[in-house]
A and B are shown apart, each in its own frame.
Chain A
Amino acid sequence: MQPILALEGVSKSFAGVKALKDVSFDVRPGEVHALMGENGAGKSTLIKVMAGVHAPDTGEIRVNGAVVRFASPREARAAGIATVYQELLLFPELSVAENIFLGHAPRTTMNALDWTKMRDEARRLLDELDSHDLDVDARVGSLSVANRQRVEIAKALSQDARVLIMDEPTAALSDTDARRLMDVVRRLRDRGVAIVYVSHRMPEIFALATRVTVLRDGAYVGTHDIGAITEGELVSMMVGRPVDQLFPKVDTEIGAPILELRNVSYRDEVEDISLTLRAGEIVGIAGLIGSGRTELALTIFGITPATSGEILLDGRPVTITDPKQARDLGIAYVPEDRGLQGLIKPQTIRENLSLALLDRISTATIVDRAKETSLAKELIKRFGIRARGPEQRVRQLSGGNQQKVVLAKWVATEPRVLIMDEPTRGIDVGAKAEIHALMSRLAGQGLAVLMISSELPEVLGMSDRVLVMNNGRIVAEFDRDAATPDSVGTAMMQTSANDAGAAKAEVA
């Protein structure tokens, strides 16, 4: 079948840096074409070329065989190419129906907005996406990420998209929501929509894709039918070297208890949590988004201080009411959202690395620059942060390297307890393996690590013990040997009995 959208020999430079080098890519009606590569490999740029955001320096774009030049994203949309970006571009104060039809709302003969038709059409589009529980009058700001994403997809469909580009659509979703989204993608594919699908998650790629194309360092590496390639081959195409061990948790001597929680609660978000974290131990917390995992981390770290219960450090009760106290007690928190909570993006790597220990490298409040720079250089080396040097601004780094900066910043405070929330979300395979190796090494040095993750393989591979959370409570606990995809998955599934109810409640 003829490709509906084809790119040939496309190159694109920014300020002299080649983001894309002679890349060819095409997608046919009724197929899911996966686009893979490490962060910084050029996937985003390629997507933006297809979506009309960037014009290619050289090369051709063809729609149905005819050469086109998109002067703007609007022209690409008019040609039937719609994009669902990772950061959803919706208006939180407007309703679902308004968001779907913004810019092309149906009109009455008087040229007024046809609200009835708009709501009916919105309903129909959402029903097609199997989202019968989503209210067209709900304010988008009140919806979950998963539901907002459906609104974004409905918006694309409302403009008769023949090509749908999806940039890491499942990155921010829980497993259940991700599975629902994949059903939607299949449905669209079967209706003949051509889908460009960007994701780091291997199982998804193998479940959904017809073909897969890999980019590396802005260059085209290859395209394969999904049946003709293995996961290992894909990974080595991406990183340019074989990665044999994704989750290298090394067995460590597990020592004395460091952090203990006794019946800790925070309002009704974290309820009656008791747990013990020992030196050298990695405890994984599995659970759906909204199960109270992140809330638990925030409570331990003093951002939302415990409303009842007891926290003990080395057996002594402590009160933690703000992050500064937690930090001074030797607790470190690598947050879920790097951009929002982890990094000062306008600042340099050096400034970000020293932020949590400024008082320790200052004499009479004046920061010792020599000490600071050598600390930064040492951390860059130790954590394998790929950067031009300590003076590079963090916003210029790739996602994986940004995550390493956040991790390094906290490790530099020499904590005893390290809490990591989604430590490898949105980062590429190579950087992921490095982060896992670092975690393992830190545990080996006697740190107690609490790891929250939505990725089951990561939880299973890295953890000495796995706790499963639901509704703010710990509902199951497994030792390393007892923790299998089945056992942990089942414990998480029990929770999804409440799922439909929760989704309804959220819309209401």
Chain B
Amino acid sequence: MSASNPTVARPAPAMHPMKRVAAYGQEFILLGAIILLILVVSFVNPRFLGANNITNIFAGNAYIAVAAIGMSLVIISGHIDVAVGSLIGVLATISGTLAVNGYPIWLAWLAPVAIGILVNAGVGALIAYLRIPSIVVTLGMLSILKGGLISVTGGAWISNLPADYLIAQFRLFGIPSPVWFMVILTALVAFWMRYSGFGRTIYAIGGNVEAARVAGIQVERSTVIVFAIHGAFAGIAAVLFATQLQVIQSTVPPNLELTVITASVVGGVSILGGTGTVIGSTLAAILFAAIASSLIFLNVSAYWLRAVQGLLILVTVLADMARRHRLR
């Protein structure tokens, strides 16, 4: 502090390029990790680089990236949703059921999105207006959705899905549609979070809910909207998931919520809320897919994937803490 210079602010020195990188640290690290992994694995096993494999890596995990976009918004706003896996399972089953029972294809695509919005708006309302912690509400939702789904469907397979329903198998310019969804949605939301007033509101609520309220932000309403948006992304993720293969099993994909939350956290979204970007969470989802595929190409048991994901969470959180420490 320069006491001799009371009224004039010091001019801001030009931002050092390394600092600029540091501001987007997590995104650059993840990008570097993905590239490094692809280089190393393709050196060991050149087939890894085959065009099909790389696209498959992107396409097969895109639904996780899409779900992680919504999850990132929820975590940035200072909440969490552990029911997202169950919700995706339910919405995928609804979508598939509509498709095989002769309902119009567009309805099978849009119904999950609409229902996702409604369900999660309800969840958001419980959290915002009744002030029940999000972990409690969504733990309840997890059980309700998971139990309800198994009770109603008995976990039956839905087969004979019509070919024109399988949107995840469509291609545009040779690129599978899930990749388009992932890239476009990530870019849109990243832009919207950075430049829109509402995006700023979400960061403010997660950063300090009391200060946000005092600044005239309608915290409750905004929280409901964040959860509703998250529900919409869960709906899109469910459709991408349901249309990957000719059949779907009407159950909840195991550990899906954990994978989605992990993608957000490893992507640099602070579990305490207030910071992070959806670009990070998408890159993290891609990294997981790349690791899963690498394990196969390196002849390592696929079960290691989970361990590696866990390790990444710890490394990320430690790196985040180290970074905060330095900034202080």
Chain A interface residues (CB < 8 Å from chain B):
14-15, 38-41, 216-217, 239-241, 301, 303, 322-324, 326-328, 333, 335, 340-347, 351, 354-356, 358-359, 362, 365-367, 369, 380-381, 384-393, 395-396, 398, 401, 409, 430, 434
Given the complex, which residues of A lie within 8 Å of B218, measured CB to CB?
322, 324
Given the complex, which residues of B lie within 8 Å of A367, measured CB to CB?
195-197, 200
Q: Which of B2, B3, B198, B274 contacts A344 (CB 8 A)?
A: B274
Are B1 and A344 touching (Cβ within 8 A)? no
Of the 9-residue stretches B54-62, B144-152, B179-187, B204-212, which lies at the interface with chain A? Answer: B204-212
CB distance from B169 to the nearest CB of A (A): 35
B327 within 8 A of A: yes
Given the complex, which residues of A lie within 8 Å of B215, measured CB to CB?
323, 327, 355-356, 409
B12 nearest CB neighbor, chain A only = A389
Are B327 and A240 touching (Cβ within 8 A)? no
Given the complex, which residues of B lie within 8 Å of A15, measured CB to CB?
326
Given contacts A326-B216, A347-B203, A356-B216, contact A38 B1 (CB under 8 A): yes
Are B211 and A343 touching (Cβ within 8 A)? yes
Are A355 and B208 touching (Cβ within 8 A)? no
Q: How many residues of B contact A (CB 8 A)?
A: 39
* Main SS at interface, chain B: loop
Q: Which 3 A-B pairs have the closest CB atoms?
A: A389-B12, A327-B216, A344-B207
Are B327 and A344 touching (Cβ within 8 A)? no
Are A303 and B275 touching (Cβ within 8 A)? no
Are B9 and A341 touching (Cβ within 8 A)? no
B102 within 8 A of A: no
B174 within 8 A of A: no
B15 within 8 A of A: yes
CB distance from A398 to the nearest CB of B (A): 6
> Which residues 1-31 of B have a CB within 8 angstroms of A?
1-13, 15
A333 nearest CB neighbor, chain B only = B214
Given the complex, which residues of B lie within 8 Å of A359, measured CB to CB?
197
Are A384 and B203 touching (Cβ within 8 A)? no
CB distance from B75 to the nearest CB of A (A): 13
CB distance from A154 to the nearest CB of B (A): 31
B213 within 8 A of A: yes
B205 nearest CB neighbor, chain A only = A344
Given the complex, which residues of B lie within 8 Å of A38, measured CB to CB?
1, 3
CB distance from A324 to the nearest CB of B (A): 4
Given contacts A240-B4, A430-B6, contact A346 B207 (CB under 8 A): yes
A495 vs B326: C-alpha distance when bound (angstroms): 48
A367 vs B218: C-alpha distance when bound (angstroms): 18
A335 vs B214: C-alpha distance when bound (angstroms): 8
Chain B interface residues (CB < 8 Å from chain A):
1-13, 15, 195-198, 200-201, 203-204, 207-208, 210-218, 270, 274-275, 326-328
21 A-B Cβ contacts within 8 A?
A: A40-B1, A323-B214, A326-B216, A328-B216, A343-B208, A343-B211, A344-B204, A344-B212, A345-B207, A346-B275, A347-B207, A347-B274, A351-B203, A354-B200, A356-B216, A362-B197, A381-B7, A386-B10, A387-B10, A389-B9, A434-B7
CB distance from A107 to the nearest CB of B (A): 36
A261 vs B326: C-alpha distance when bound (angstroms): 49
Q: Which of B3, B210, B212, B275 contacts A241 (CB 8 A)?
A: B3
Given the complex, which residues of A lie within 8 Å of B270, measured CB to CB?
346
Given the complex, which residues of B lie within 8 Å of A40, measured CB to CB?
1
Residue in B2, B11, B200, B217 whose Cβ sees the most chain A Cβ within 10 Å? B200
CB distance from B257 to the nearest CB of A (A): 25
Given contacts A333-B214, A388-B10, contact A365 B198 (CB under 8 A): yes
Q: Which of A14, A216, A342, A369 contacts B195 (CB 8 A)?
A: A369
A365 vs B203: C-alpha distance when bound (angstroms): 15
A368 vs B5: C-alpha distance when bound (angstroms): 31
A386 nearest CB neighbor, chain B only = B1
A395 vs B323: C-alpha distance when bound (angstroms): 14
CB distance from B320 to the nearest CB of A (A): 12
CB distance from B221 to the nearest CB of A (A): 10
CB distance from A180 to the nearest CB of B (A): 30
A351 vs B204: C-alpha distance when bound (angstroms): 9
Are B210 and A341 touching (Cβ within 8 A)? yes
Given the complex, which residues of B lie within 8 Å of A322, measured CB to CB?
218
Residue in B2, B197, B201, B326 whose Cβ sees the most chain A Cβ within 10 Å? B197
Given the complex, which residues of B lie within 8 Å of A393, measured CB to CB?
327
CB distance from B171 to the nearest CB of A (A): 32
A378 vs B9: C-alpha distance when bound (angstroms): 10
A392 vs B11: C-alpha distance when bound (angstroms): 12
A434 vs B1: C-alpha distance when bound (angstroms): 14
Given the complex, which residues of A lie within 8 Å of B10, measured CB to CB?
386-388
B276 nearest CB neighbor, chain A only = A346
Are A344 and B208 touching (Cβ within 8 A)? yes
Are B203 and A216 touching (Cβ within 8 A)? no
CB distance from A263 to the nearest CB of B (A): 26
A141 vs B195: C-alpha distance when bound (angstroms): 41
A384 nearest CB neighbor, chain B only = B7
CB distance from A274 to the nearest CB of B (A): 25
Are B196 and A391 touching (Cβ within 8 A)? no
Given contacts A38-B3, A384-B7, A385-B9, contact A344 B203 (CB under 8 A): yes
Given contacts A343-B208, A355-B217, A356-B215, contact A366 B12 (CB under 8 A): no
A434 nearest CB neighbor, chain B only = B6
Given the complex, which residues of A lie within 8 Å of B207, measured CB to CB?
344-347
Q: Which of B11, B12, B210, B275 contacts A340 (CB 8 A)?
A: B210
Residue in A39, A240, A369, A386 whose Cβ sees the most chain B Cβ within 10 Å? A386
Given the complex, which residues of B lie within 8 Å of A362, measured CB to CB?
196-197
Are A240 and B3 touching (Cβ within 8 A)? yes
Are B201 and A358 touching (Cβ within 8 A)? yes
A390 vs B12: C-alpha distance when bound (angstroms): 8
A15 nearest CB neighbor, chain B only = B326
A369 nearest CB neighbor, chain B only = B195
CB distance from B73 to the nearest CB of A (A): 16
A335 vs B197: C-alpha distance when bound (angstroms): 23
CB distance from A419 to the nearest CB of B (A): 11
A361 nearest CB neighbor, chain B only = B197
Are A323 and B216 touching (Cβ within 8 A)? yes
A333 vs B214: C-alpha distance when bound (angstroms): 8
Given contacts A345-B207, A346-B274, A381-B8, contact A324 B326 (CB under 8 A): no
Are B204 and A347 touching (Cβ within 8 A)? yes
Are B3 and A365 touching (Cβ within 8 A)? no
Residue in B11, B208, B327 whose Cβ sees the most chain A Cβ within 10 Å? B208
Are A355 and B212 touching (Cβ within 8 A)? yes
Given the complex, which residues of B lie within 8 Å of A351, measured CB to CB?
200, 203-204
Are A303 and B217 touching (Cβ within 8 A)? no
A392 nearest CB neighbor, chain B only = B12
Residue in A216, A240, A343, A347 whose Cβ sees the most chain B Cβ within 10 Å? A347
Q: Which of A240, A303, A365, A388 contacts B13 (CB 8 A)?
A: A388
A301 vs B326: C-alpha distance when bound (angstroms): 38
Are A398 and B1 touching (Cβ within 8 A)? yes
A368 nearest CB neighbor, chain B only = B195
